[in-house]
Chain A
Amino acid sequence: MTTVIDILSWVFLTGGGLFVFIGGLGALRMPNLYTRMHAASLTDTMGAVLVLVGIMLQAGLTLATIKLAAILLFLLLTSPTASNALASAAILSGLQPQEGTVRPGGASE
């Protein structure tokens, strides 16, 4: 049983790490603010959720798990809110989302 939980936990942790990595890569490589934000929000949501669930499986049914669940809830509320606020601020300051395809390394605005 513990082996199963361990394997499951590692699957979650590795998956979370992968999402964080992809998010970081996207934040570096994407051509404009909105696509970069889209990539970065992946780190906040999928990455953090999977890593936290992985740790919760490691912690078992303890007080630590409840605290981690509280952190998870907090992150699920605040990270999308922060992304929303950032995007609204960008729109309000006049940065229009570009439509169509953009070549990588092309328009950085």
Chain B
Amino acid sequence: MIIILFGIFLLALTVITALAIVQSESLFAAVILTGIFSLLMAANFFLLDAADVALTEAAIGAGVSTVLFLGALALTGEQERSGSKNRLLALGVVTITTLIVIYATFDKPRFGDPAAPVHQHVGPWYLEKTPELIDIPNAVTAVLASFRGYDTIGEVFVVLTAGIGVLFLLSARTTARPENMQPPKESHQGLRHYLVPRVVGRMLIPFIFLFGLYVQFHGDYGPGGGFQAGAIVAASIILYALLEGEEAALRALPMRVLQWLIAGGALLYGAIGVMGMLLGGNFLDYSVLASDPIAGQHIGIILIELGVGITVTGVLLSVFHAFAARGKV
């Protein structure tokens, strides 16, 4: 009961935040509010016992994407351009869509209803068979990496494709510099003049990185896995870039390496799948990777999660660098 009340409270806050985002004319404030929105959604997911999703939402939604949005804002302006004329039309479309969505919720099962379709279909089978077939404590990882490995390889390739698309769009060199954009002075590279954030940030980076590795390799046992770990590792390197300047981060991890990471992670995932075929199983069937099927599942899950993590890290960092480089063209 208390959980439902708390959930309603959090959802009310998300609605208020969403209205504030629509209202605010300052895009900077809107970006920060978007981060708050993601954090509230993460708390909501956690209330629904979806710790893995909550971790992803907090790391990517509230963390990395806020930085990416701010990078985009540095290239555009901080104020919303006013003067769109079709306000009434937009209001009408939004109202109709809202009514349709509200109408659709009438058919949804009640919160926590055991007879809901999601609890009737393959869900119970996964929960029942995970200890027997895969034998890891976190059923989410078992479903994500093994039972539904095809979906996850699809997601990894979506991330890969999106990364390539963003890189294509952003790394097109424009020769003309907009008038209002000044080249950043060397002394303003990174937070050179902020002593306290630099010292504390430097101290924290190794621990954030270590936490990323923990989330990566502990995904079998607790909430975590490649997507979350990739975002956390990328966040630690983005923090380094913010503190020491983008060049320092590029010296540590050059763009060439990042491109190899993007392709390499997806390639590792696909290669594990093909390996299963070569060893006499099906594509993405990890049971044949070792003499013991359960050990084979463990090896396969660790490796494909690593592939996911590598690709996510590579894509997030490349997109960040693409935005940052764009500001200096």
Contacts and interface: CB of A to CB of B under 8 A. Distances in A.
Interface in A79-100: 81, 84-85, 88, 92
Interface stretch (B35-43, B54-62, B196-204): B196-204
A77 B194 contact: no
B200 A78 contact: yes
A85 B196 contact: yes
Interface residues of B, number: 9
B92 to A, nearest CB: 35
A85 B204 contact: no
Interface in B182-231: 191, 193-194, 196-197, 200-201, 203-204
A88 B191 CA distance: 11
Contact of A78 (B191, B194, B204): B204
Contacts of B193: 92
Contacts of B204: 74, 77-78
B244 to A, nearest CB: 15
A88 B194 contact: yes
A87 to B, nearest CB: 10
Interface string A39-64: 00000000000000000000000000
Contacts of A92: 193
Nearest to A86: B197
Contacts of B197: 81, 84-85
Contacts of A77: 200, 203-204
A66 to B, nearest CB: 14
Nearest to B208: A74
A85 B203 contact: no
Contacts of A74: 204
B196 A84 contact: yes
Interface string A65-79: 000000000100110
A78 B203 CA distance: 11
Contacts of A78: 200, 204
Nearest to A84: B196
A84 B193 CA distance: 12
Interface string B42-58: 00000000000000000
Contacts of A81: 196-197, 200-201
A88 B200 CA distance: 15
Contacts of B194: 84-85, 88
A81 B196 CA distance: 6
Q: Most A CB atoms within 10 A — which of B193, B196, B203? A: B196
Interface in B229-266: none
- Name which of B191, B194, B203 has the most chain A CB atoms within 10 A of its CB: B194
Interface centre among B191, B200, B204 (most CB of A within 10 A): B200
Nearest to A73: B207
Contacts of A85: 191, 194, 196-197
A102 B191 CA distance: 33
A18 B3 CA distance: 22
A85 B194 CA distance: 7
A51 to B, nearest CB: 15
A23 B227 CA distance: 35
17 contacts: A74-B204, A77-B200, A77-B203, A78-B204, A81-B196, A81-B197, A81-B200, A81-B201, A84-B194, A84-B196, A84-B197, A85-B191, A85-B194, A85-B196, A85-B197, A88-B194, A92-B193
Given A81-B196, A85-B191, 15 more contacts: A74-B204, A77-B200, A77-B203, A78-B200, A78-B204, A81-B197, A81-B200, A81-B201, A84-B194, A84-B196, A84-B197, A85-B197, A88-B194, A88-B196, A92-B193
Report the 7 A-B pairs with minimum CB-CB distance, sorted nearest first. A81-B200, A84-B196, A85-B197, A81-B197, A88-B194, A77-B200, A81-B196
